[in-house]
Structure 1
């Protein structure tokens, strides 16, 4: 019986991997096919290299559209915003997890309630304020939007991580005269850096993949990667090869980040599971 369960688990895992990775494989395959091969029937499920191979789509996307600048804008904006989110989320999360005061639980539940408010409800008032201040299509606006909008969510996510931190170390630090903010930044964060790097990666992925703010608040100078890819389709023609190559270029920073930092992601999430209440 245990062996049968293991087989079922392995099969379900393999099936999930196929479901998750097949769209990426399909996009990568089509990004290297000549345009005439992207509209054939039946579709080309497998690479037809080297006879049917081209990098023209990548060249056209990079030269015809400001793709590289858009990806650079995305990375710079989201990295800065993710740092802002963590720096402003960790202090309240530390207070809610390690300090005992009367309204602690009420504040925590209020933060949870904020998570139920959809981002789209903020768009119109934020747009009117940003337009009056001349901040539309600026990097600083997107940094503030993604930095501040993630505070409730990542305060809520950071609380379990900080609850797992030993209280004895905090008590010892207090006996040496360290303030709570110094304990957080000099003791807690260095020791739990893997957990906070995991939170940084999660915030980067979620913000990088968002379309709403990037589409509404950018025009040209601060335009990011995803809105730029959406400009590739023509009015009467759908260039599948260009769309596929643009999609691969957009996903590339996420792949590089998650692959290079996967050990921090796994160990950080595992560390957060060891919660002591």
Structure 2
């Protein structure tokens, strides 16, 4: 009886959490299929004739024009912004993993002075709010000619996520028996050989989980994108801003853009959820 009651309470709490998590997404999707007039109706209409016009306008763009008193923002740059986000996110993820994995391995398996201090310094970078370092970064990037460039965003995203990679991977390497690396060195492998031939294959799920989280962070990042880009390097998270103007807020178009931005992340997460779960739980289980 107690076990049954406990299960009911657990399912009830899970249902409440799911409602809070999924309701905003459902509401945005609901608005994306409405006209701008229907989106503003109070109380909201639950029964209406859905339209794909908003998605068409977002994907293929419309000219700025007055249409019976409605001003429609131009969205011709949406697909370019999607391309920019893909290039920046994938490149930043690759570079962050390439630099973070050896650093994490060194902090986990090597013995050297000030090791704990270095580890704390790496972790402390996660404590600093990004807005604190925006002004010096802005000045430096302007002098280096990195403003409004994909290279500039990649550099920012790599350093913003490098500490995450190092600390996640350090946990996975800590769980790896030292005997594996030592046996590899006995067989003639150097430190890098032991890393790439032994440590990397053993912690593959952890690498996948770290890469997935970094990729999602880069795709969803907004602050650096809005401050360090103007036109050429705009990412997809800025697409929604194009529907907020001094004359109108195009809620339906904004909702459609939000859904389109979310879809790649959802697909990517669903496809890689097995690797993500295995990676996030592997560090907590000792072999």
TMscore range, shorter length = over 0.9
- 1:86 offset after TM fit, Å? 1.3
- 1:35 offset after TM fit, Å? 2.3
Correspondence 1:113 to 2:124: yes
Matched pairs, number: 272
Q: Which runs of 5+ in 2 are unaligned?
A: 63-74
1:240 and 1:85 map into 2 onto residues whose CA distance is 36
Correspondence 1:257 to 2:268: yes
1:69 match = 80
Q: The residue matched to 1:144 in structure 2 has which SS? A: helix
Greater relative contact order (CA < 8 Å, ≥ 6 in sequence): 1
Q: The residue matched to 2:245 in structure 1 has which SS? A: coil
Per-residue CA shift, 1:210-242, capped at 9, x if unaligned? 211000111111100111211112322221110
Per-residue CA shift, 1:53-75, capped at 9, x if unaligned? 11100111221311111112112
- 1:144 offset after TM fit, Å? 0.8
Q: TM-score under structure 2 normalisation? A: 0.90
- Is the 1:201–1:265 Cα contact (8 Å) retained in structure 2? yes
Per-residue CA shift, 1:181-209, capped at 9, x if unaligned? 22212221123211111111111112222
Aligned mate of 2:177, from 166, 169, 179: 166
Q: 1:254 to 1:68 in 2, by over 3 A?
A: same
Q: 1:102 to 1:129 in 2, by over 3 A?
A: closer
Runs of 4+ in 1 over 6 A off after TM superposition: none
2:200 match = 189
2:56 match = 59
Q: CA RMSD in A?
A: 1.5
Aligned mate of 1:224, from 235, 258, 262: 235
Per-residue CA shift, 1:82-123, capped at 9, x if unaligned? 111111111111111112333222221222222212212221
1:71 and 1:157 map into 2 onto residues whose CA distance is 28
Q: The residue matched to 1:102 in structure 2 has which SS? A: coil
1:109 and 1:127 map into 2 onto residues whose CA distance is 26
- Is the 1:34–1:52 Cα contact (8 Å) retained in structure 2? no
Aligned mate of 1:157, from 164, 168, 182: 168
1:2 and 1:95 map into 2 onto residues whose CA distance is 47
Correspondence 1:84 to 2:81: no
1:14 match = 15
Q: For 1:102-141, what aligned pairs fall within 5 Å after superposition?
A: 102-141=113-152
Q: TM-score under structure 1 normalisation? A: 0.93
- Is the 2:243–2:251 Cα contact (8 Å) retained in structure 1? no
- 1:271 offset after TM fit, Å? 0.9
- 1:2 offset after TM fit, Å? 2.2
Q: The residue matched to 2:262 in structure 1 has which SS? A: helix
Q: Which runs of 5+ in 1 are unaligned?
A: none
1:171 and 1:211 map into 2 onto residues whose CA distance is 44
